Amino acid sequence: MIVPQSLEEIASYLEQEGKFVFYFTADWCGDCHFIQPHMPSIEVAHPSFTFIQIDRDTYLDLAKLWDVYGIPSLVVVENGKELGRFVSRERKTKEEILAFLAGLA
């Protein structure tokens, strides 16, 4: 999982070819802590995606721009265009995330 150090770094992924999963999370988020231990196996199950962890509080303006208000949330981008999003205020399970990504693979 890539943890970007700047907004410019995040923007650079939008300019690259490939599929990127922008995983919005926050330290204080209980649902984020629930799913975090499953993220490595989700990454392994979907090697065609590059996973980028975005701290929602650090990049709040980006989260607002992308209409990401509930976390954890995932926005999938391919070649700079949004393919899909799993954005809600509900707790997400490993199975739901796997199914979501499988639909975009």
> How far is it, in rounded angstroms, from Cα 21 to Cα 86?
10
* pTM, full prediction: 0.92
pLDDT of residue 88: 75
pLDDT at 91: 84
Contact of 1 with 86, CB cutoff 8 Å: no
User: What pLDDT score was predicted for residue 56?
Assistant: 94
pLDDT tens, residue by residue, 48-104: 999 999 999 999 999 999 999 889 999 999 998 999 999 877 788 999 999 999 999
Residue 84 phi, psi (nearest 5): 180, 170
CA atoms of 76 and 18, how far apart (whole Å): 10
Helix (H) or strand (E) holding 43: helix 39-45
- Edge-to-edge strands of the sheet including 49-55? 49-55, 19-25, 73-78, 81-86
Average pLDDT over residues 18-29: 95
